[in-house]
Amino acid sequence: MDSMSSSSQERTLREIADHVGGRVYGDPDTVIHAAATLSEAGRGDITFLANRKYERQLETTEAGAVIVGREMTGVRVPLLVAKDPYFAFTQVLVLLYGHRRHKAVGISPRANIAPSAKIGTDCHIHDFVTLADDVRIGNGCVIYPCVYIGQGTQIGDGTVIEANTVVYEDCRVGSRVIIHANATIGSDGFGFATHDGVHHKIPQIGTVVLEDDVEIGASCSIERGTLGETVVGRGSKVGDLVTIGHGARVGPHSLIVAQVGIAGSATLGHHCVLGGQVGVVGHIKIGNNVTIGAQAGVINSIPDGETVAGAPAIDVSHARRAYAMIPYLPQMRQDIRSLQSQLEKLTAALNGPAGEHDLTDDSQARPAGSVEPQDAE
């Protein structure tokens, strides 16, 4: 079948614990046949607790077992203690359900395959796929209907390309890459030379490189370099509706959430995380292990290990304080205007005719305790 199955393989809690390297507290023979969220899990379901703010739900959950990160007392359901509950739950999902399985169709007679294209063993090429001249497809690949792969492009082993995707000429796609539906790889970068008020297109003669184990979300656009390569590093995951501009380089194992825009020639280090709708200007460098909060606007380079937020993006601790003040800005503006008005009135009172000191009365001009001249005689 070509979709993820709703059925699962039944396992005991002991078998699951052995699979994830965890410890069971409770009945190890508890039978698990499905997975669910903590609030929706029922008898026979396994779930997980990764955030302590949901701990109270352990008192009410109907789950068959819960994966937790530490030993806990007074819990009425069996527990599976694992170092990383979320990752352990991921392993359990794979154990119970597996990944999406693809229908074995072989090479469809309705696919349009150039005579010079080369296809590896155990590949499945669906209806209306087009493989242009000199395309190279590795072993065990699956290419869904209406995919177009341009001249000279190379695809590694075990790669899956979902329906209606376009991969332009001379791109290089690694092994075990997943490209979701309607993505465009290798389109022209947004490059124009403006002369006398006219925008002249610059030939985009570079390419795109997707390294091994990359995943590209639906409807993404990865632009080819003007002269060199646009690179998405190995193991990086790109969400839906992301645009990566010409000549940009995304380091290994980065996470780019939906609707991010990265302008041309920007460079990201390894293990970066960009939240939804982040915008990154071109020609800047973002270091390794950088986290950028959702909707941030990044206009300057960021050193390694920083966490930033806001537009323009600044250190997250400063951003939180700044954004926490926003609801109070109208009142603060009114208070400042009131203080300005009071200050103007006080200044006028001190400097105006009614407020001038009458120095003709020398009793006011002399310090307290001074002696009148006649008293001194």
Map residue 140 onto helix, strand or coil.
Answer: coil
Question: If we measure between CA atoms, which residue out of 56, 16, 60, 25 comes closest to residue 40?
Answer: 60
- Could you give the C-alpha distances from 262 to 2, 5, 226, 286, 294, in angstroms and in order? 33, 35, 15, 11, 14
| Two structure tokens written together for 210 | 């997707």
Among candidate residues 246, 253, 270, 357, the one labeled active-site is 246
User: How far is the CA of 48 from the CAs of 56, 84, 121, 269, in angstroms?
Assistant: 13, 10, 40, 32
- By the 8 A CB rule, do 270 and 210 touch? no
Backbone angles phi, psi at 269, to 5 degrees: -80, -165
Examine the residue annotation and report whether 195 is marked as an active-site residue of this protein: no
Q: What angle do CA 112, 118, 119 make, to 5 degrees?
A: 80
Which tokens in the block code for residue 97? 């359900």
Return all residues near 65 (Cβ < 8 A) that are at least 6 apart.
13, 16, 26, 30, 32, 46, 47, 77, 78, 79, 80
Q: Which residues does the annotation mark as catalytic?
A: 246
